[in-house]
């Protein structure tokens, strides 16, 4: 095995072309890295967006398959982008990027015309683009990739061809770790409306004579009702709309009672500690979870920490969950989208102090034998773990680069010695 700079770059490449290629790598690779990372760091969000597409096309699949597709997409984008940025696999990466963009451009053209979803989800919750802007962005990326296909091979990358597989391995481990923590614990970066440090209490009051209408659904049909004329329990609450007056609320988190009244101010404690058990998709939660929830409730109660359960309403109604859970803590509902934005996972825990979100965790990481200790451990969970992963990746890439440079140096010395001996 020989290491050589010449093996990684044809000679006599014009300087303008070298600069152009690195600029193209920076732009295209950067877009791919940001897009892939924003989706990989929040697997649940990517899963929900993928399901939104499938529902619009009447192609909903088992969640495991959908999750696998979401992970493959996000990891693939991140890896392609990072390899482009580093100049690895100079022939293959532009071709694979072009193949991906052919699919994505066709998809975004369809979305722009048919408008099945409001946001394509290209950058997760990090950047929200209109469907038209997304299509225009993809056309620009397509043009830039053409330049990479023509010129990318002529400009060497950061690493020699002999160590590129190590680079790919380090990048894969990094993005897999980010996704694993995002799925099982919570996203390491929260781009949603209710990140840590957000108050769930309204900081302003509605102004004027405020009148709401309430949207309910039954048998696939939606109707609007007034507050004085709400439907029976066979209808499912969907949303509420402001029909007259105005409101200026710094947050939009709303907890509803059985009559769809906003009781957020009565439920969220303005002083002291409080635990929220959040179930964004009650229809997907196994009733066996109620045992774990009740164990958490009993342990927290012994430490004077009140608990409130928030569930998404479904056709069976909130009373169904009350009956099977047999919980002593109050149970209320909230709009499913709000709950999904508040916390990820089948069942999530949100710890509040004075109404402010202090931390969020998936229930699967809690020890049911000692929930209070798990809560203390969760509060001490390092928020800078993403920084540690990034530093680890940088150190791994630095070590690989050192191997490259060492090999090149040794090879150069050996060749010089052979020439002198000859």
Residue 344: helix, strand or coil by DSSP?
Answer: coil
Q: Are residues 336 and 398 in the same domain?
A: no
Q: Are residues 273 and 317 in the same domain?
A: yes
Q: Supply the pLDDT for residue 204.
A: 42
Are 373 and 302 contacting, i.e. CB atoms less than 8 angstroms apart? no
pTM: 0.82
At residue 164, does pLDDT exceed 90?
A: yes
Question: Residue for token digits 């451009």?
Answer: 105
Q: Are residues 356 and 403 in the same domain?
A: no
Q: Supply the pLDDT for residue 262.
A: 86
Is pLDDT larger for residue 13 or for residue 135?
Answer: 135
Q: Supply the pLDDT for residue 229.
A: 80
Q: Is residue 206 part of a domain?
A: no
Q: What is the mean pLDDT of the chain?
A: 85
Is pLDDT larger for residue 275 or for residue 367?
Answer: 275
Q: Are residues 68 and 154 in the same domain?
A: yes
Q: Are residues 273 and 402 in the same domain?
A: no
Q: Is residue 127 part of a domain?
A: yes
Interval 79-108: pLDDT, tens? 999 999 999 999 999 999 999 999 999 999
Q: Are residues 269 and 343 in the same domain?
A: yes
Q: Supply the pLDDT for residue 159.
A: 94
Interval 25-61: pLDDT, tens? 999 999 999 999 999 999 999 999 999 888 888 888 8
Q: Supply the pLDDT for residue 401.
A: 95
Q: Are residues 307 and 281 in the same domain?
A: yes
At residue 351, does pLDDT exceed 80?
A: yes
Q: Supply the pLDDT for residue 307.
A: 93
Q: Is residue 250 part of a domain?
A: no
Q: Are residues 323 and 347 in the same domain?
A: yes
DSSP-assigned states of every residue in 106-138: HHHHHHHHH--SS---TBTTTB---HHHHHHHH
What is the count of structural domains for the chain? Answer: 2
Q: Is residue 55 part of a domain?
A: yes
Q: Are residues 176 and 191 in the same domain?
A: no
**Residue 66 pLDDT class (50, 70, 90 cuts):** very high
Q: Are residues 400 and 340 in the same domain?
A: no
Q: Is residue 236 part of a domain?
A: no
At residue 203, does pLDDT exceed 80?
A: no
**CATH number for position 283:** 3.40.30.10
Q: Is residue 259 part of a domain?
A: no
Q: Is residue 247 part of a domain?
A: no
At residue 8, does pLDDT exceed 60?
A: no
Q: Are residues 314 and 406 in the same domain?
A: no
Interval 213-269: pLDDT, tens? 777 877 777 788 887 788 877 777 776 676 665 554 444 788 988 888 888 888 998
Residue 342: helix, strand or coil by DSSP?
Answer: helix
Q: Supply the pLDDT for residue 248.
A: 46
Q: Are residues 314 and 395 in the same domain?
A: no
Are 255 and 332 contacting, i.e. CB atoms less than 8 angstroms apart? yes
DSSP state for residue 368 in the 8-state scheme: T
Gap between the Cα atoms of 393 and 387, Å rounded: 10
Residue 312: helix, strand or coil by DSSP?
Answer: coil
Structural domain that includes position 277: 187-201+265-380
């Amino acid at each position: 095995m020989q290491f050589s700079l010449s093996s990684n770059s044809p000679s006599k490449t014009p300087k303008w072309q070298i600069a152009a290629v690195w600029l193209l790598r920076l732009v295209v690779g950067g877009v791919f890295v940001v897009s892939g990372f924003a989706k990989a760091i929040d697997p649940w969000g990517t899963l929900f967006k993928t399901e939104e597409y499938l529902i619009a096309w009447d192609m909903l699949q088992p969640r495991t398959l959908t999750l696998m597709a979401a992970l493959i997409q996000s990891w693939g984008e991140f890896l392609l982008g990072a390899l482009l940025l580093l100049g690895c696999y100079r022939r293959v990466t532009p071709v694979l990027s072009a193949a991906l963009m052919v699919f994505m451009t066709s998809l975004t053209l369809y979305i722009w015309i048919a408008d099945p979803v409001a946001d394509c989800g290209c950058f997760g919750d990090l950047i929200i683009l209109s469907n038209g802007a997304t299509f225009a962005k993809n056309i620009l990326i397509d043009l830039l990739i053409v330049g990479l296909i023509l010129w990318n091979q002529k400009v060497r990358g950061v690493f020699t061809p002999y160590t590129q597989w190590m680079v790919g391995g380090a990048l894969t481990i990094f993005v897999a770790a980010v996704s694993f923590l995002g799925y099982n614990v919570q996203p390491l970066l929260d781009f949603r409306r209710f990140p840590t440090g957000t108050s769930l209490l309204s900081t302003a009051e509605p102004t004027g004579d405020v009148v709401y209408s309430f949207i309910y659904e039954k048998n696939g049909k939606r109707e609007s009702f007034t507050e004085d004329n709400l439907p029976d329990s066979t209808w499912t609450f969907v949303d509420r709309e402001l029909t007259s007056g105005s409101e200026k609320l710094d947050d939009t988190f709303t907890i509803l009672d059985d009559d769809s009244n906003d009781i957020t101010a009565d439920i969220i404690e303005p002083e002291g500690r409080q635990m929220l058990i959040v179930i964004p998709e009650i229809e997907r939660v196994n009733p066996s979870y109620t045992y774990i929830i009740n164990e958490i409730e009993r342990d927290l109660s012994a430490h004077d920490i009140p608990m409130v359960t928030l569930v998404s309403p479904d056709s069976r109604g909130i009373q169904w969950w009350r009956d099977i859970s047999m919980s002593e803590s109050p149970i209320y509902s909230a709009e499913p989208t709000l709950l999904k934005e508040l916390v990820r996972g089948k069942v999530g825990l949100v710890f509040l102090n004075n109404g402010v979100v202090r931390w969020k965790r998936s229930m699967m990481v809690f020890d049911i034998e000692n929930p209070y200790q798990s809560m203390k451990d969760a509060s001490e969970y390092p928020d800078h773990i993403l920084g540690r992963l990034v530093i680890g990746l940088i150190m791994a890439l630095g070590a690989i680069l050192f191997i490259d440079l060492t090999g090149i140096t040794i090879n150069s010395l050996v060749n010089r010695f052979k020439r002198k001996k000859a």
